[in-house]
């Protein structure tokens, strides 16, 4: 029985509470916000590390983004991941989900002999939830979406995932290799392990891949490969909140409140 080779797609995102909207341009100002691992990807990473605890094998982090993502991604090494692959090139910039998934899928193909790719449910900034499905499509692999628990059977070469449905749960089985998206908050991500400090800092544990190394087609990456266009931007109208203070004795207030509720539901 061979040990599984697991890849976890990790996006580095700005901390949501530190992102500001430029009042003039109305664009997001990400530059001054600190970066972190997309919180749902911590659940995907924890699921991968739990599988490694059980079955051995390797857990590798795959991310597309600029070089300054490196220290953030190294947190994953401190948690127990074995390697990081950062896909980084100016040609990858400005990508929509089509170009992002094309580039990530190329990274997975270049790694070769990957058994399973785990993703978070969605990112906290883009939040399309399209990347796992796009990856499965480019790779032509089966996929399991929104799983809360996952098992890998390397003898039968299958993955079995559990996911919640109305009134219960279902268990789905697909052949390996496959793509899996992990339900947010389905587990408690572990802390960094102080004993892995040297591993987390090791230069040999991180590889940066540019467009030439990935052998990507420039027409499919970055802005050039992104058919999505932001055609307009507008603020959502905020609804005025009504406030009314009820006065009188407790009995009078209760009666008045019942009237208010009755009128509002009629």
Ligand X SMILES: Cc1cc2nc3c(=O)[nH]c(=O)nc-3n(C[C@H](O)[C@H](O)[C@H](O)COP(=O)(O)OP(=O)(O)OC[C@H]3O[C@@H](n4cnc5c(N)ncnc54)[C@H](O)[C@@H]3O)c2cc1C
Residues that bind ligand X (CB under 6 A): 9-11, 38, 40-41, 44, 63-65, 93-97, 100, 104, 119-120, 122-123, 125-132, 226, 228, 230
Least distance to ligand X from the beta carbon of 101, Å?
Answer: 7
Least distance to ligand X from the beta carbon of 151, Å?
Answer: 20
Q: Which residue's CB comes closest to ligand X?
A: 126
- The DSSP 8-state label assigned to residue 86 in this structure reads E
127 or 261: whose CB is closer to ligand X? 127
HEC readout, 148-199: CEEEEECCCCEEEEEEEECCEEEEEEEECCEEEEECCCCCCCCCCCHHHHHH
94 or 248: whose CB is closer to ligand X? 94
25 or 247: whose CB is closer to ligand X? 25
Place of tokens 């900034």: 125
130 or 148: whose CB is closer to ligand X? 130
Place of tokens 């890998």: 152
Q: How far apart are CA 221 and CA 225, in angstroms?
A: 5
Which residues is 163 bridged to in the sheet?
170
Least distance to ligand X from the beta carbon of 165, Å?
Answer: 21
Give the angle 63-222-19 at the CA atoms, nearest 5°: 65
Least distance to ligand X from the beta carbon of 245, Å?
Answer: 44
- DSSP-based three-state secondary structure for 34: coil
CB contact burial 60-97 (16+ within 10 A = b; e otherwise) = bbbbbbeeebbebbbbbbbbbbbbbbbbbbebbeebbb
229 or 245: whose CB is closer to ligand X? 229
Least distance to ligand X from the beta carbon of 251, Å?
Answer: 53
46 or 122: whose CB is closer to ligand X? 122
- The DSSP 8-state label assigned to residue 116 in this structure reads E
Tokens of 58: 């390797």
Least distance to ligand X from the beta carbon of 39, Å?
Answer: 9
């Amino acid at each position: 029985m061979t040990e599984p080779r697991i890849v976890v797609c990790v996006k580095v995102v700005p901390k949501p509470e530190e992102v500001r909207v430029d009042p003039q341009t109305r664009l997001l100002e990400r530059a001054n916000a600190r970066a972190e691992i997309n919180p749902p990807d911590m659940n995907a990473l924890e699921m991968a590390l739990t599988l490694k605890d059980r079955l051995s094998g390797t857990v590798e982090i795959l991310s597309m983004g600029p070089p300054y993502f490196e220290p953030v991604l190294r947190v994953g090494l401190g948690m127990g991941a074995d390697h990081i692959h950062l896909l980084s090139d100016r040609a990858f910039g400005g990508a929509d989900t089509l170009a992002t998934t094309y580039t990530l899928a190329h990274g997975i193909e270049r790694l070769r002999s990957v058994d399973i790719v785990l993703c978070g449910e969605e990112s906290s900034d883009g939040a399309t939830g399209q990347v796992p499905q796009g990856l499965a499509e480019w790779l032509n692999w089966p996929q399991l979406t929104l799983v809360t628990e996952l098992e890998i059977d390397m003898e039968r070469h299958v993955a079995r995932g559990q996911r919640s449905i109305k009134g219960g749960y279902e268990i789905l089985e697909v052949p390996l290799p496959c793509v899996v998206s992990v339900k947010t908050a389905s587990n408690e991500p572990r802390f960094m392990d102080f004993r892995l400090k040297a591993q987390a800092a090791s230069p040999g544990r991180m590889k940066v891949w540019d467009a030439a190394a990935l052998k990507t087609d420039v027409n499919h990456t970055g802005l050039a490969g992104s058919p999505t266009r932001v055609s307009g931007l507008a603020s959502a109208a905020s609804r005025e909140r009504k406030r009314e203070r009820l006065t009188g004795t407790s009995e009078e207030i209760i009666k008045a409140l019942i009237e208010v509720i009755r009128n509002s539901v009629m």
